[in-house]
Amino acid sequence: MPHFAWEQYGIAGVVIGVLFFILWKMLIWVMEWTDKQSDQHLKERESWLVIMNGLRTSLELHNQSSIESRKQLSEAHGYQRAEHKEMMEVLGRINGYKDGR
């Protein structure tokens, strides 16, 4: 008479076999889900890098315009300082001060 797995392992063997089968199916499902998540994260990173490159370009343009604006302001303030110094010398001469004091 042939020996079947049922006779050899009993109900505990069948239950353990079913549990291993369920565990194996869950493991396959988790691996598929992880692959889908990985693909989704890759797409999100690509779109995020495009956004960050646009932001970086915008900041570089802003910094460049800020540098140019500061150069123009320092040049304008230099002219104002020279004009004020000249006016102080003229006012000093009008008021009778020597050497602009």
Residue located via tokens 């040049």: 75
Judged by phi (left if over 0) then psi (alpha if -120 to 50, else beta), residue 88 lies in: alpha
Residues of the chain with pLDDT > 70, as a percent, come to 90
Residue 78 or residue 9, greater confidence: 78
**The pTM of the whole model exceeds 0.75:** no
pLDDT band at 100 (very low <50, low <70, confident <90, very high): very low
* Separation between Cα atoms, residue 91 and residue 74, nearest integer Å: 25
Per-residue pLDDT band for 6 (boundaries 50, 70, 90) equals: low
CA distance 97 to 101: 6
Type and span of the H or E element at 39: helix 5-94
pLDDT tens digits along 44-92: 999 999 999 999 999 999 999 999 999 999 888 888 888 888 888 888 8
Q: What confidence score (pLDDT) does residue 88 get?
A: 87
